[in-house]
Amino acid sequence: MIEEILSLGFRNIELNYNVTFDLLRTIEPMIERGDIAVSSVHNTFPFIDDPDYGTDSVLLGFDDETKRKRAVELMVRSAEYADRYGAGAVVVHPGEVPFDYDADGELKRLYADQGPASSAYRARFLELAERRIERSGVYLERISRSLEEACDIVAKRGYRVVFGIETRARFHQIPTIAESASIIDRLGGAPVGLWYDIGHGMMMERMGLYENDATLLAKQGKVAGVHIHETIGLSDHWCPYVHSGNNSYFDRFLPVIEAAPIKVYELKAACEPETIEASHRMIVEKLAVRAKERINEASRR
């Protein structure tokens, strides 16, 4: 997999939560030789075969204090690996507002069958969104406390990493952009930022959970990194511009890509080398045009 990434001309790689200890034994020599650099590590890292600490769980918001403490320990372990490899961030799925049934799946089925503007979708969405808001406070409090504890440990150990809390792909998952801002502000100066997953943001905007203002996000300076991919309908991890066939819609996300200190493509296997290269070329060219325009504007002042 890494050899294929290198063949595309990329050298910086995010190591995600599917990387096992066995895989690490083959990857670490590549890092030590300087064949690759690690941009970021995705919690929980390395892989742990327990859904309680997987990517779609309550995780940092567990009511069970033993489980919550274990989630903090595992996140600190991810930070240890990130620091060891010289990565700048740990990407974290902090948690969710649990429902006793698949609320996200229900909404997505209504979205597909009747459309987001239908009365059935809007009524059900508003009902579930109200429940989400009512229940979210306690989980946001626990997540904030867990991050604060992890940051204290990381600071004592001297790890130079940022925790990036990622915008998610399911209606009930934390954080929304507003929730991320609330957590970051509460932690006041701790090494925690928003990991802005662009494709997920597009999905949640289409479903009605929040709107994306990438220019505002870029100006706020709270973005730790970005996952770059495009969503077609509610299907994510496609190559920007190329798979949608729209040469301008994704432009609205260029400001936050430009501002993000860490930029990671997060593309699915269906993205062929040719489409990845074409998409990458378009993004780079568009960013170069933006940079040139700023230089010209500055010279006119």
Regarding pTM above 0.85, the answer is: yes
pLDDT value of residue 178: 95
Going residue by residue through the chain (301 aa), what tens digit of pLDDT does each one get? 899 999 999 999 999 999 999 999 999 999 999 999 999 999 999 999 999 999 999 999 999 999 999 999 999 999 999 999 999 999 999 999 999 999 999 999 999 999 999 999 999 999 999 999 999 999 999 999 999 999 999 999 999 999 999 999 999 999 999 999 999 999 998 999 999 999 999 999 999 999 999 888 988 889 999 999 999 999 999 999 999 999 999 999 999 999 999 999 999 999 999 999 999 999 999 999 999 998 888 887 7
pLDDT value of residue 260: 97
pLDDT value of residue 300: 78
pLDDT digits (tens, 9 = 90+) for 186-198: 999 899 999 999 9
The Cα 98–Cα 46 span in angstroms is 25
- Does residue 17 contact residue 45 with C-beta atoms inside 8 Å? yes
| Cis check: omega of the bond before 26, within 30 degrees of 0 | no
Sign of the alpha-carbon torsion through 23, 29, 31, 32:
positive
pLDDT value of residue 125: 98
- Does residue 248 contact residue 262 with C-beta atoms inside 8 Å? no
The Cα 267–Cα 121 span in angstroms is 29
What is the domain range of residue 17? 2-300
What are the beta bridge partners of residue 192? Answer: 163
Residue of 240, 193, 296, 273 lying closest to 8 (CA atoms): 273
Sign of the alpha-carbon torsion through 100, 103, 105, 106:
positive
Vertex 60: Cα angle to 57 and 65 (nearest 5): 105
The Cα 213–Cα 55 span in angstroms is 26
Provide the domain count of the chain.
1
Residue with tokens 């489409």: 275
Residue 226 CB neighbours (<10 A): 29
Task: Tell me the C-alpha to C-alpha distance, in Å, between residue 65 and each of 47, 77, 142, 233.
Answer: 22, 18, 10, 39
Sign of the alpha-carbon torsion through 22, 71, 176, 178:
negative
Vertex 192: Cα angle to 188 and 193 (nearest 5): 105
Look up the CATH number of the domain holding residue 175.
3.20.20.150
- Does residue 205 contact residue 230 with C-beta atoms inside 8 Å? no
